[in-house]
Amino acid sequence: MQLEKLVAFHKTIGDVTRIRILSILANGPKHGQALAGILKLTAPTISHHITKLKDVNLVTDRREKNTVYYFLNEDVLEHYSAALPKMVSNKGDTNKVDNQKLIVEHKKILDNFFTADGRLKTIPAQRKKKMIVLYHIANSLENGRKYSEKELNEFIQTFHDDYATIRRELIIGSIMYRENNIYELNPREMWADIV
C-alpha cells in the first residue's frame, strides 16, 4: 500500500455510518437487510457504505444461497489502524541484541524452507514462519515497480509453483497491494508483523 492507500483507508472510516457498520460486524457477520434494520437505513445506503468498506478490504462477503453475508476483516482493520503511528514515529526494534537473535532465528527458518538454489520447499502453515518466507520473497521485488499479474506470477514461480497461493498471501500480509490487476509493494512499515 502506498501512502494514498493509507489515506483512502482513513477517509473511508471517517464516516459515522461506516464506523457503525464495522462495530456491528465486529460482533459477527450480518446480511445487508439486517444492517439496514439495525441502522434504520435503506438497503441502497447500506450497499453504498459496504462497497466503500470493501474497496479498502475492511469488509468481505460470502454468499449463502440467496443471501450475502458481510464480515469484518479484523486483520486489515488492526493493520491499517497501527500503520499510521508506525510511519509517523518510525519506531523499530532498538535493542541490537534482540535484533541479532531475530536475524539468526529467521535465517534458520529460511534455511529449513528453502533449497540451496533458492526454491521454496513448501509453504509454511505456521503464520510466523509463513511471514518470514513472504518477507524473503518480497525482498527480491523492486520498490515502486508496478507488476502485472503475469509478471508477478512468473516471479513467484522462480520460488514455488503455487504462485496463486503466494500471491494471495502477499496481499493478505499487506506486503503488496492490488489495484486493477496491477501489483505493487507496500512501504515496509505497512507489512504485517511477523508474530
3-state helix vs strand vs coil in the chain, percent to 5: 55, 15, 30
Asked which of 48, 76, 104 is the last residue of a domain, the reply is 76
Residues 116 and 71 in one domain: no
pLDDT for 96 = 52
Whole-angstrom distance, CA of residue 152 vs CA of residue 146: 9
Neighbours of 30 (CB within 10 A): 19
Decide if 36 contacts 29 (C-beta within 8 A): no
Whole-angstrom distance, CA of residue 55 vs CA of residue 103: 36
Q: In the numeric block, which cell numbers belong to residue 68?
A: 450475502
Mean pLDDT across 41-46: 93
Q: In the numeric block, which cell numbers belong to residue 113?
A: 524452507
Total number of domains in the chain: 2
131-190 pLDDT tens trace: 999 999 999 998 889 999 999 999 999 999 999 999 999 999 889 988 888 999 988 878
Name which of 51, 92, 95 is nearest 70 in CA terms.
51
pLDDT > 90? residue 81: no
pLDDT > 60? residue 32: yes
Residue 136 lies in a domain: yes
Residue 88 lies in a domain: no
Which residues share a beta bridge with 70? 30, 61
Residues 111 and 170 in one domain: yes
pLDDT > 90? residue 71: yes
Residue 86 lies in a domain: no
Whole-angstrom distance, CA of residue 2 vs CA of residue 30: 31
Whole-angstrom distance, CA of residue 85 vs CA of residue 4: 16
pTM: 0.53
Residues 120 and 172 in one domain: yes
Decide if 166 contacts 160 (C-beta within 8 A): yes
- In one letter, which amino acid is 184? E
Residues 49 and 108 in one domain: no
Residue 13 lies in a domain: yes
Domain span including residue 169: 93-190
Contacts 24+ apart (CB under 8 A), 153-161: 158/118, 159/118, 159/119, 159/120, 160/119, 160/120, 160/123
pLDDT for 99 = 61
Whole-angstrom distance, CA of residue 193 vs CA of residue 132: 10
Q: From residue 73, how far is each of 23, 37, 58, 78, 147 by CA, in Å? A: 12, 22, 5, 9, 25
Whole-angstrom distance, CA of residue 182 vs CA of residue 195: 28
pLDDT for 90 = 53
Give the chain's largest Cα–Cα span.
Answer: 60
Mean pLDDT across 74-100: 67
pLDDT > 70? residue 93: no
